[in-house]
Structure 1
Amino acid sequence: MIHTILSEWPKEVGDAIVNTRSLCVALFATDKTLLYANQAMSALLRENPSETLINPTFDQLISADQKENLIFEGYVTLGDYDYVNASISARVYRKGNQILIMGGADAGQLFEQNEKLHQMNRDVANLQRQLMKEKAQLEKTVSQLNKKNEELKTLNATKDKFFSIIAHDLRSPFNAIIGFSDLLVSQVKEQDYEGIGEHAEIVQKLSMRTMNLLSNLIAWSRSQTGRLEYKPVTFNLSTFLNEIILMFADIARQKSIHIRDHIPDNVQIHADQDMLGTVLRNLISNAIKYTRENGVITVSVDNLPEALRVSVSDNGVGIPEDKVGKLFDLTRSFSTVGTHKEKGTGLGLILCRNFVARHGGEIRVESEEGEGSTFYFTIPNTASKVTEQEESAATAVQ
């Protein structure tokens, strides 16, 4: 019935067969010559069309038992053994010396292939996620290695600094102390008292400087090995500072330097007293060292919203701009002689940075060469505060 109806539409049906992409049509002669192939089949055939049939092969089709009409029904695989191939659900007919292949994509096969594509996409997505995870892990590992490398560099710098101090900065003053002590002993024995006071003063200065260096060295060593406990308490900053300033009164007097205390009497600070004392002693000691005679050193405090900011300023020689960035870096730290040829190691400021950081604060410096320097450090307001009272008058210690 359907054939009768369609027989009246030969051109339209023929055009549909030629142009459709879902129906594959090929007509071969039994000598393997391709007589016709529509667009869909042409897309599947290779340079030698008959050899494109790989299952069943062309030879298998022409050797089939049936010599007329339907000789094969099932999947026909076309392509190349070495490359991609495609299978179509087809019927193969034979009339005389001609072989007609008609078929198309099987819906079930398409669904199966579609599912395979989806699975491939899922596999690719999983692989991408795995690669991203491995990339993140690799970046984390590289970051950790870089951090460890920086720590090793710092440790090497620490070791070099430590041995440098022991080999030179400690040995030299001890040699000088021993030398002047021997001289003093000899003068006393010979009752030669000329210059004995001057020599004793030199021994005193060397001893104080060496003791300060030893104190810094011990504190630094303990901080590096984790044996320095952090024990913050609340106390009066002004009283604490005055005790430290008194320690430097004689040294400051020898250079006619005025140390001004601009800390109000009512300032309370929450900090580790040993660490804060080390910070203030080093900053004041440096200020004295690099301030000329008749200079002024001022210690002040500002009440910031979240911290107390303490400053130690002087009108001394200042710091060259290219040196400022090296002050708190152990790997690049340096020291220059003071205005009276006082020597240093650069270790004090490293300690200041570490101890201020232990409180959660920061330390910085503003300086202009020839005009002086101001060192600022902050201590967070855990319990530190300034009450709303009038600031006390400045105290000058000579």
Structure 2
Amino acid sequence: MIQKKHNFLLLFLFLTSIALSQESLNYFDIAIQKKASSLKKEINFNKAQSFFFKEEWDSTLVYSMKQLNFDSDLETKEYCHYFRGYSLKKKGLYKQALVEFGLIDKSFQYYYLVDYNVGHLFHFEKNFEKAIVYFLKSENEILNHNDENEIANLYTNIGICYMHLNKFDNAESYLKKETLLNPKKATKSLVRSYINIANFYYEQYKDEQGIYYFQKAYKLSKNIKDFKLKENSAFNMAVVEENRADYKKALVYRKESEQWKDSLNNQNKIWAVADFEKKFAVAQKQKQIKVLEVENKLKDTQRNSLFFASIGLLLILTGGVYLYGQKVKNAKTILLQKNKLDELNATKDQLFSIVSHDLRSSVNALKTSNAKLSATLETKNYDELHQLIIQNSTIANGAYSLLDNLLHWAMLQTKQLYFHKESIHLYSIVQQIEYNYKPLLLDKAITFENSVSKNIFIFVDLDSLKIVLRNLLDNAIKFSNENGKISFYTQETNPDFCDLIIEDNGIGMSENTIKELLQEGELLAKKSGSEIIGTGLGLQLCKQMIRKNSGTLAIESEINKGTKMILSFPKTRTNG
């Protein structure tokens, strides 16, 4: 039965995420929209609430803080603190979220939502008794709104907390309340409810009752379109069959779970590729239209020359000279365009060759690793399975980064990338980038130091700045040794500009490599004395985006001593 408990924990993590993903507070959404309508002149508040609904948490944090910096009425501040607390919770910054929720006064009309979210925070930190206290504080108001979906989520959270505390009678009571709220038809909510009650029985070793609900959830999942839920339902059945020692059936369910997982990944990839192909096709059509326009102009010129020829010899001579001049000019233009097109084609061919080679290597490595994964699965060597899964994740992340850079590079070249410059708090952005790369830093035991001045505001485009910092931090991690150190800090050598330095103590590079990287259009770069080869596309993308933001890039490095990437951006004028 020890094996069963281990597998149950995996299933239980899924349960916890389900209870959070179903939050639906339509009446509160309407209240936010009404508040925004009454504050049409408050641009920062309107942007904050817009990004809140779009679930773009970083932007929500930025604009809600900007609104709090202005004099606002108490209710507006309460909304802003709620936006910030909720966004920090979604980003996994639970302590900071608790501080923001604590700044909201109890007179706030929707304060019960604060209690509800604080309950989630204690739930995440495994303080289940406190979580239950706060969930129960919000119960009366939630029941008053008669939103079955919201009530079901509340009961699910309370039931799961009681389950963690081994208070199974209380847990059963709340989980059964949840299943009674769901309609008796194939819905995602009903499938999740069955999984909840199944895990409850399974935790108490009431296998037959638990398996019964697992099977009901699996059968109902066949009639829904949620790939993630299908994957988890099949995975639950695989765990059940493994515990019953029917490994043949377990393997069938695991394969089905993997197929649904692949379908979800493939769906996302197909959408991305289709979007890229559509843009490429539009660009090709536009080129054809331009060629036809040139041809039509030439035909018009010839028709005009014939018309002028009928007037007289003088006009014929004048028209001939004019036509000859136009032809010479067009010929020069066409020649210049041809040379530029040849150069672009050469760059394109080189890029496709490099990218296809890297992708082929990644796919081949993934194929080989999956073969090992399949073989290891039969031998039940879980330690090796864990390492292979980590290896697969690393390969997939590398391929994704390459494709992401390729997409942004293509959009930049075709002038489809939108730039909107605004005042950005540099320290907060570096803090966000550090959070996104925390797993990679921990994997190599790299120390990250954010010494950026908290008083610096720069005037740049936020999205392109994030792309630049992500690429440079990714390179710094890649070329750093185990137990290395990466530092972000600022220095001011010009009153109108801020220098951001990204420093590592990794393998470094030679002067020739630096010149090669800074050379315009150079796609292939190799670190001296290293077998690590990259397309150089990420750095080329960074250079172009830095230029678009009126910035500069410099590199200082020594072999085996580390590298400094020095970025210079214009400050916000009000800070000057």
- Which TM-score bucket, shorter chain as reference? 0.5 to 0.7
TM-score by length of 2: 0.39
The normalised TM-score by structure 1 is 0.55
Matched, 1:226 2:415: yes
**Is 2:566 aligned against 1:376?**
yes
Partner SS state of residue 486, structure 2: strand
- Report what 1:253 is aligned to: 442
Aligned to 2:460: 271
Give the aligned partner of residue 199 of structure 1: 388
* 8 A Cα contact 2:480 2:506, kept in partner: yes
**Aligned-partner residue type, residue 261 of structure 1:** N
**CA separation in 2, counterparts of 1:318 and 1:148?**
40
Which residue in the other structure is 1:69 paired with? none
Counterpart of 1:231, as a letter, is: H
Structure with greater contact order relative to length (CA < 8 Å, sep ≥ 6) = 1
Task: Note if contact 1:158-1:330 (Cα within 8 Å) is conserved in structure 2.
Answer: no
Letter of the structure 2 residue corresponding to residue 284 of structure 1: L
How many Å apart are 1:341 and its aligned residue? 6.1
Look up the match of 1:302.
Answer: 491
Note if 1:160 corresponds to 2:349. yes
- RMSD after superposition: 3.1
Distance (whole Å) between structure 2 residues aligned to residue 261 and residue 367 of structure 1: 20
**Structure with max Cα Rg:** 1
Post-superposition shift, 1:329? 2.8
Contact persistence 1:292–1:339 (CA under 8 A): no
Match of 2:553 among 363, 374, 379: 363
Q: Secondary structure at the match of 1:217?
A: helix
Distance in 2 separating the partners of 1:190 and 1:213: 34
**Structure 1: which 5+ runs fail to align?**
1-140, 387-398
Question: Is 1:309–1:379's contact at 8 Å kept on the other side of the alignment?
Answer: yes
Q: Map residues 1-398 of structure 1 onto 2, 5 A cutoff.
A: 151-152=340-341, 155-189=344-378, 191-303=380-492, 304-336=494-526, 343-383=533-573, 385=575
Q: Per the alignment, in what secondary structure is the counterpart of residue 395 of structure 2?
A: helix
d(CA) in 1 for partners of 2:517, 2:433: 23
Structure 2 residue runs of 5 or longer lacking an equivalent are: 1-329
Percentage identity across aligned positions? 29
Q: AA paired with 2:551?
A: G
Q: CA deviation at 1:220?
A: 0.5
Q: Retained in 1: the 8 A contact 2:448–2:486? A: yes
Deviations 1:141-162 (A, max 9, x none): 9x99998688557524530332
Structure-2 separation of matches of 1:349 and 1:336: 13
From the two aligned structures, give the one with the greater strand fraction.
1
For 1:217 and 1:384, how far apart are their aligned partners in 2? 36
Structure 2 CA distance for aligned equivalents of residues 150 and 371 of structure 1: 43
| Matches of 2:502 and 2:370, distance apart in 1 | 35
Counterpart-to-counterpart distance in 2, 1:173 and 1:312:
28
Say whether the 8 Å CA contact 1:267–1:384 is kept in structure 2: no
Quote the Cα distance in structure 2 between the aligned partners of 1:166 and 1:268: 36
Structure 1 Cα separation of the partners of residues 395 and 340 of structure 2: 34
Does the Cα contact within 8 Å between 1:318 and 1:369 map onto a contact in 2? yes
